[in-house]
A and B are shown apart, each in its own frame.
Chain A
Amino acid sequence: MEKNKLIELKNIVKSYDGEVVVDHMTLYIRENEFITLVGPSGCGKTTTLRMIGGFEKPDKGEIIMNGQVVNDLPPHKRPINTVFQKYALFPHLNVYGNVAFGLNNKTYAELMEFYTEEKVMAQVAKLYPGLDLKDKVSKRKLRKSINSLIDESVRNALKLVNLEGYEKRKVDSMSGGQQQRIAIARAIINRPKILLLDEPLAALDLKLRQNMQYELKEMQRKLGITFVFVTHDQEEALTMSDTVVVMSKGIIQQIGTPQDIYNEPKNSFVANFVGESNIIKGLYTAHKEVTFMGQSFECVDENFAIGEEVQVVIRPEDWDVVPLEQAKLVGRVDASVFKGVHFEHCVIIQGKELIVHTYEFVKVGEQIGLNVDPYEIHLMKKEKVNAETVLEEILNAEEGINKDETIQ
């Protein structure tokens, strides 16, 4: 089933003080999908989100919704709600007041449309059993029925985030995880077309974060709302998303399903950012054959010219440790770390370090034999910059000033 495009970004450019944060970005978001923007700090993901939400205006390009350019539409007129990074709950309102805030902002006519007349009339009949609905119902009674519907909505929203019974509590007396749930309830009660989530899990501890990841995914499936999620955590992105957008320096590096992104990274940035990778120089020596480290391997990639230089990506867990006599590559284990589920060996072959994840223990200093299956070998076009400098840039970007935060 082809899903409709909900919102489209076309050639969006945004810069602050002459520094380009989002560079000619083109992206569309479909109905009912969980899309994640992931990238190191300062890659423009939060800015992109804020432009979708209407808090920032793009310098160039168009944001299109329902065939209309909405660049200048203020946030309160967009069918989009946001869960903010630090939740931004209203401290002067209790939990109920926070959650009901969006609905209370709607006018009578808007609420009538929101709940549909049918539902409001049903509520009137429920509240005033003796009333003859064929007569004109007084505005006061309608208003009262709508208010009781709002009340119901608030309770349902709180139920959805497992916070029933907390209506009267002050928001600053709640824990971080609870505040975050309130923020989610406050946003989804308005039944937005798109829910934007700006690193909502960043402030939670690991266990809570993992739980919330599943809950959010589940919520998205249940509600059928499109979620646009921003994170710098690649694991989070892979776990939750239907579509992952990897960004770096304001440019989209790759868009795809989590599997695509992980197994078929388009360039060394993606290969390195999303999970660990071994990137090795190689030569496409024959049809479906690549040679690296002095050995030729069978592979599945076809779109290369014979004799072309390529980059070979092999995930650490894709190596097979085999007896030395069967191995195509033999190296020495230089270091070994126990990671819980697996061992991480640092293997040196021909002066190059490779990362290998296996379940088997190998003593440091011993020889190790490695093989790799054809379908585990992924080839990339050779880039001008090599993998090391890209990796360095990632590290620098993460250490550097968090641009996303300073602009707010």
Chain B
Amino acid sequence: MKRFSKLSIPYLIWMSLLVLIPIAILIIMAFQETKGIKIFEGKLTFNNFKVLVDDYFIESLWLSFLYSGISTVCCIFIAYPIAYIIARSHFNNRFLVLCFLVLPMWSNTLLRTKAIASLFMEGNIISSMLAKIGLELPTLDLYGKPLGVIIGMVSMYLPFMILPIYTVLEKIDKSLYDASDDLGANTFKTFWKVTFPLSLKGIVTGIILVFLPCATGFGIAEGLGESGLIGTFIQQNFGNNITYGVGALVSIVILIIITASLFIVGKVDKEGETLL
């Protein structure tokens, strides 16, 4: 094994350049009150920490977690049956079916967000087309509404839930179903006592893959008219306000929350097989 240890050097360099150093800069900035990046000029200050008790910050953080929590749960309920049906079906080309499900991921996220947003507004392409043949649809007045944001998040991140669940379901040895049946479990019991526990790892992976980008991203929410989330909050500090110190601090707080939650997941799942 020692011979291969040299192969890890590029990754170590990569990691330190693109992960460790930026985080170090973030930490330094969190203790400075500067406009823009002036790492070596600013003075040590704790003024930025005031933001952590700011109502607006707490509200955004809470809203972000709420929205992404709801979206993640929706994703599980939608993705599990889809993954289950594909995994247990006898399609010759299950991979192709999966590809079709994942296909929307290949188009630009921003574009998709804009497209969904326009569907939520008055006079969108579908309703105007339907109007031409005399069908009047009530307007989906979802732009800027919580439901709209959640629909956006779910549609965007659903594939990230389907894929890991499908992968674990597909890997389950078929003879286990026979064994369960043989030992007196009907289809329903087999699902709850064999299939579901064995697919938990896929669900946890899916939760990580869906919840984190939902909670921290700003593109989707912003695009759908919701600008009260934590992603937007950070973006504003780095954008228009150029209060980098505040932005850096908030980023670090979120980083800590995420790391802590991953750590907890790792503790619960002792084998560490959850993360693909």
Interface, chain A (partner B; CB < 8 A): 53-55, 74-76, 80-82, 84-86, 88-92, 101-102, 105-106, 186-187, 190, 408
* Contacting pair B183 A81 (CB below 8 A): yes
B273 to chain A, nearest CB (A): 11
Q: How many A-B residue pairs have CB under 8 A?
A: 61
* Contacting pair A101 B183 (CB below 8 A): yes
Which one, A86, A102, A408, contacts B183 given CB within 8 A? A102
Q: Which residues of B contact A84 (CB under 8 A)?
A: 175, 178-179
Count how many chain B residues have C-beta atoms less than 8 Å from C-beta atoms of the other chain: 18
Q: Which residues of B contact A86 (CB under 8 A)?
A: 173, 175
B235 to chain A, nearest CB (A): 43
> Which of chain A's residues has its CB closest to B201's CB?
A92
16 A-B pairs, CB-CB below 8 angstroms?
A54-B181, A75-B181, A75-B182, A76-B182, A76-B184, A76-B185, A84-B175, A84-B179, A85-B175, A89-B179, A92-B198, A101-B193, A105-B183, A105-B189, A186-B183, A190-B184
18 additional A-B pairs beyond A92-B197, A190-B184, beta carbons within 8 Å, are A54-B181, A55-B178, A55-B182, A75-B181, A75-B182, A76-B182, A81-B182, A81-B183, A82-B178, A86-B175, A88-B173, A88-B175, A88-B179, A90-B179, A91-B198, A101-B180, A101-B193, A105-B189
A114 to chain B, nearest CB (A): 11
Interface string of B246-266 (1 = CB under 8 A from A): 000000000000000000000
Interface hub of A54, A74, A101, A190 (most chain B Cβ within 10 A) = A101
Cβ < 8 Å to A, chain B residues 167-194: 173-176, 178-186, 189, 193-194
* Contacting pair A190 B197 (CB below 8 A): no
Known contacts A84-B179, A408-B174, A408-B175: A90-B184 contact under CB 8 Å: no
A406 to chain B, nearest CB (A): 13
Interface, chain B (partner A; CB < 8 A): 173-176, 178-186, 189, 193-194, 197-198
Bound together, the chains give a CA A74 to CA B184 distance in angstroms of 9
Q: Which residues of B contact A106 (CB under 8 A)?
A: 184
Q: Which 6 A-B pairs have the closest CB atoms?
A: A102-B183, A88-B175, A88-B179, A105-B184, A75-B181, A92-B197
> Which of chain B's residues has its CB closest to A55's CB?
B178
Known contacts A84-B179, A90-B179: A76-B186 contact under CB 8 Å: yes
> Which of chain A's residues has its CB closest to B178's CB?
A55
B195 to chain A, nearest CB (A): 10
* Contacting pair B184 A102 (CB below 8 A): yes
* Contacting pair A74 B176 (CB below 8 A): no
Bound together, the chains give a CA A82 to CA B177 distance in angstroms of 12
Interface hub of A55, A80, A85 (most chain B Cβ within 10 A) = A55
Bound together, the chains give a CA A190 to CA B176 distance in angstroms of 17
> Which of chain A's residues has its CB closest to B183's CB?
A102
* Contacting pair B175 A76 (CB below 8 A): no
Bound together, the chains give a CA A102 to CA B197 distance in angstroms of 17
Q: Which residues of B contact A76 (CB under 8 A)?
A: 181-186
B166 to chain A, nearest CB (A): 18
Q: Which residues of A contact B178 (CB under 8 A)?
A: 55, 75, 82, 84, 88
* Contacting pair A88 B185 (CB below 8 A): no
Interface hub of B175, B179, B186 (most chain A Cβ within 10 A) = B179
A165 to chain B, nearest CB (A): 22
Bound together, the chains give a CA A379 to CA B199 distance in angstroms of 60
* Contacting pair A90 B185 (CB below 8 A): no
Bound together, the chains give a CA A186 to CA B184 distance in angstroms of 12
* Contacting pair A82 B179 (CB below 8 A): yes
B55 to chain A, nearest CB (A): 45
Known contacts A84-B175, A88-B175, A408-B174: A105-B182 contact under CB 8 Å: no
Q: Which residues of A contact B173 (CB under 8 A)?
A: 86, 88
Bound together, the chains give a CA A84 to CA B174 distance in angstroms of 12
Which one, B174, B185, B197, contacts A105 given CB within 8 A? B185
Bound together, the chains give a CA A321 to CA B174 distance in angstroms of 55
Q: Which residues of B contact A102 (CB under 8 A)?
A: 183-184
Bound together, the chains give a CA A365 to CA B169 distance in angstroms of 65
Bound together, the chains give a CA A339 to CA B175 distance in angstroms of 40
Known contacts A86-B175, A105-B189: A53-B182 contact under CB 8 Å: yes
Bound together, the chains give a CA A365 to CA B185 distance in angstroms of 66
Bound together, the chains give a CA A90 to CA B193 distance in angstroms of 10
Known contacts A76-B186, A101-B193, A105-B189: A88-B176 contact under CB 8 Å: yes
> Which of chain B's residues has its CB closest to A106's CB?
B184
A90 to chain B, nearest CB (A): 6
Q: Which residues of B contact A75 (CB under 8 A)?
A: 178, 181-182
